[in-house]
Chains A and B, each alone.
Chain A
Amino acid sequence: MNPFGYSEPVWRLFTEPPRAGALEGARVLKGVASTPANRNRLELWVRLNGEVIEDARFQAFGCPATIAVGGWLCERAIGSTLADLATIRGREIRQALEIPEDRLHCALLGEDAIKSLAPT
C-alpha cells in the first residue's frame, strides 16, 4: 500500500493523520510555519491546561512528510509542557519519522511551527 517509498511512520501518519483540525479558545496557542519556495505550510494549535498541553491539532498543505510532521507533533505535544516542546529540533523530527536528508525542510517546518506558537 506504500508504493512510493515513504518511511513507515510517514506513511502511517499521512494516510491516517491523527489530530487533524483546529482549536479555539482562551488557552489556545497557534503556530504557523511555511516554506516560501514550494509553499508548504504547517499550522499547529495547542491548548494548555496550566503548564501542560492537553490538546493539539494541525493542518498542513504539503507533501506527505509535511502532513506526517503535523500529526507527529500533535501526538508528541499532548501531555508535555511548552518548554519541553520547545526543545524539539528538526533533526529529531526527521529521525523519528525517518525522513530522508533531502526532505529535512519538512521536519524543520515542525520546529518552526513550535517556535512560532503564540496566543490566538
Chain B
Amino acid sequence: MIYLDHAATTPLDPAVFEAMLPFLKPGGVHGNPASDHLEGKRARDAVEQARGQVARLIGAEPGEIVWTSGATESDNLAIKGAFDFYKERGRHIVTSMTEHKAVLDTCRHLETQGAKVTYLKPGTDGRVSPEQVLAALTPETVLVSLMWVNNETGVIQDIAALAPALRAKSVLFHVDAAQAAGKVAIDLRAVPVDLMSLSAHKIYGPKGMGALFVRKRPRARLAPQLHGGGHEQGMRSGTLPTHQIVGMGTAFQVAGERLAVDHERLGTLRDRLLERLRALPQIFVNGEAAPRVAGVLNVSFAGVEGESLRASLPELAGSSGSACSSGTGESSYVLRALGRDDDLANASLRFSLGRTTAAEEIDTAAAQVVNQVRRLRALSPLWRETA
C-alpha cells in the first residue's frame, strides 16, 4: 500500500508520539488541567507550553490560541461565533465555493438563521482575487471566510494581500489554515487575519485536536459555541485533552523546524510524479496556474470514469477530492467550481505527499496510474471517440 493521502490525515511524527506518551502511560501525568492540585498543574503546564508552540509557528501570542477538537470545530466556532456576536451589526458573510465542508455547511446552516452568504466562484486557477472579495462586500458584511490552502488542489490563496484591505474596512477575516499551517510560512504579526482555524492531524499531530486563533489586538469577539465550565477564556468549554494538546504543540514545533526542508523535498517528489504521469496524454493538473503547496497534486484524467479509476488502484491510498465527501459518489464540487466538467471532476486523483513518502513509491504509484488509465481508456467508448 502506497499512502499518498497526507492531506486527509498524516501519521504521528515520532517526536509527537514520544511527547504524548508521558500523558498516557501508567505513572504519567493524568490530571485534569483544570484541577487546582499539583497533578492538575502538571497537566496545565504542559497545555500552556503547547499553546506557546502552536502560537510560535504562526506568529501569534499564546493567549490568542483557543483549543478545539479539530479544524471543523474551529471553523464552526469562528463562523457561528462571529455571526452570533456581530449579527446586530450585519448579517452578510462572504466566502468561496471551494471552501471545506466545515465552512460551507456552517454557512448554509447560518442561512437558516438569517445570514446572507455570498459564495464567490474562483477563477479556473482556483484563486479568489482580493478585488473579487472586496467587490462582494456590502455595508452588512461582518465576516469573510477563506481558506489559506485548498484541501483538494493545494492552491494557495493570497491571504496576505487581502487581509489589510479587510482590516481597513473593519470586516472580520477568518482563514481556514488547516492545510496551510506548517506548509506555508504564516506570520500573523504581519498579516492582519482575525480568526484562523488550525488542525493537528494534517501536520503529523493527533486526530481530535485543533485550535482557533482569536486575535487580541484588535480584539476579535466571538459568542462561544460549546458552553460549560468556562475553559479557554470562556470561548470553548470542555476538559482539555492534555496528551492531544501536547501532541499538537510538538507537531507545530517540528513543522516549524522542517518547513523549508519539507517544502523542498515534497516539491521535488511532486514534480517527479507529474513528470511520470505526463506519459499519458489528456491529463489536466487542477489549479496548475496558481501557486500551490508542495505536497499536493490533483490531476484529472480524460476518458475514464472516476470510480473505476480508483477501484483500479487498490494499492494506492490516494483520494478523489476531499476524504470527507469521498463516500458520496458525487464529483468534487471544488473541481467543478474551477470549471471542470462532471466527467473530469469525477475522474480526478489527489496525490498528497508526506514526510515519509519515498521516491520509489512515487515511481511505483505513477506506473500503476499510467497502466490503469491506459487499461480503462482502452475499454472506454468515450476515449475512443475523443482519440
Binding site for B on A (CB under 8 A): 1-4, 6, 14-15, 17, 20, 39-41, 43, 59-64, 66-67
Known A4-B314, A39-B343; contact A60-B380, beta-carbon cutoff 8 A: yes
Asked whether, in the complex, the Cβ of A62 is within 8 Å of the Cβ of B305, the reply is yes
Q: Is B257's CB within 8 Å of the partner chain A?
A: no
The answer to whether B379 touches A59, judged by C-beta atoms less than 8 angstroms apart, is: yes
Which B281-320 residues have C-beta < 8 A from chain A? Answer: 303-305, 307-308, 310-312, 314
Asked whether A62 lies within 8 Å of B308 as measured between CB atoms, the reply is: yes
Contact A40 B305 (CB under 8 A): yes
Tally A-B pairs: CB < 8 A.
Answer: 47
CA distance A41 to B312 in the complex (A): 18
Q: How many Å from the CB of B341 to the closest CB on chain A?
A: 10
Q: List 18 A-B contacts (CB under 8 A).
A: A4-B310, A4-B311, A6-B311, A14-B308, A14-B311, A20-B379, A41-B381, A43-B381, A59-B379, A59-B381, A60-B381, A61-B303, A61-B304, A61-B381, A61-B382, A63-B305, A66-B305, A67-B379
Q: Tell me, rounded to whole Å, the shortest Cβ–Cβ distance linking B384 to chain A.
A: 7
| Chain A nearest Cβ from B326, distance in angstroms | 12
Pair A63/B379 contact, Cβ less than 8 Å? no
Give Cα distance in the complex from A2 to B314, angstroms.
7
Instruction: Give the distance in Å from the alpha carbon of A4 to the alpha carbon of B314 in the complex.
Output: 8
The minimal Cβ–Cβ distance linking B219 to chain A, given in whole angstroms, is 50
B344–chain A nearest beta-carbon distance, Å: 12
Residue from A4, A20, A43, A63 whose CB has the most chain B CB atoms within 10 Å: A63
Residues of A within 8 Å of B308, CB to CB, are 14, 62-64, 66-67
Q: Is the interface of A mostly helix, strand, loop or mixed?
A: mixed
The reply to whether B342 and A61 form a contact with Cβ atoms under 8 Å apart is no
Bound: A56/B372 CA distance, A: 23
Residue on B nearest A102 in the bound complex, by CB:
B329
**Residues from chain B with Cβ under 8 Å of A60 in the complex:** 379-381
Q: Which residues of B contact A17 (CB under 8 A)?
A: 379
Q: Is B378's CB within 8 Å of the partner chain A?
A: yes
For the complex of A and B, the 5 pairs showing the least CB-CB separation, nearest first, are A63-B307, A59-B381, A61-B380, A61-B382, A64-B311
Q: From A17, which residue of chain B is reached at the shortest CB distance?
A: B379
Q: What is the distance, in angstroms, from B124's C-beta to the closest C-beta of chain A? A: 22
Alpha-carbon gap, A63 to B303, bound state (A): 13
Contacts A20-B379, A41-B382, A60-B379 known; 5 new A-B pairs at CB < 8 A: A3-B314, A4-B314, A20-B378, A62-B308, A64-B307
The distance from the CB of A106 to the nearest CB of chain B, in whole angstroms, is 11
Contact with A along B165-184 (1 / 0, CB 8 A): 00000000000000000000
Give Cα A43–Cα B383 distance, bound, in whole angstroms: 13
Q: Which residues of B contact A4 (CB under 8 A)?
A: 310-311, 314
Taken together as a complex, chains A and B put the C-alpha atoms of A6 and B311 apart, in Å, by: 9
CB distance from B348 to the nearest CB of A (A): 15
The chain B residue with its CB closest to the CB of A37 is B342
Give CA–CA (A1, B313) in the complex, Å. 10
Task: Give Cα distance in the complex from A63 to B346, angstroms.
Answer: 11
Residue of A nearest to B341 (CB): A39
- Is A61's CB under 8 angstroms from B305's CB? yes
Most A CB within 10 A of own CB, among B311, B312, B384: B311
Name the residue on A nearest B314 (C-beta): A3
Cβ of A15: which chain B residues have Cβ within 8 Å of it? 312
Chain A residue with minimal CB distance to B381? A59
Distance to closest chain A CB from B306 (angstroms)? 9
Most A CB within 10 A of own CB, among B303, B343, B382: B382
* Whole-angstrom CA separation of A17 from B307 in the bound complex: 16
- What sequence of 0s and 1s flags, for each residue 358-383 of chain B, a beta carbon within 8 Å of any chain A beta carbon? 00000000000000000000111111
Chain B residues near A20 (CB-CB < 8 A): 378-379
**Which residues of chain A come closer than 8 Å to B381, judged between CB atoms?**
41, 43, 59-61
A6 to B312, CA, bound (A): 12
Residues of A within 8 A of B310 (CB): 4
Q: Which residues of A contact B379 (CB under 8 A)?
A: 17, 20, 59-61, 67
Docked CA distance A4–B381 (Å): 25
A62 cross-chain contacts in B, Cβ below 8 A: 305, 308
- Looking at the assembled complex, report how far the CB atom of A19 sits from the nearest CB atom of chain B, in whole angstroms: 11
Taken together as a complex, chains A and B put the C-alpha atoms of A6 and B310 apart, in Å, by: 13
CB distance from B334 to the nearest CB of A (A): 19
Tell me the smallest distance from the CB of B354 to a CB of chain A, in Å: 21
Cβ distance A66 to chain B, nearest Cβ, rounded Å: 8
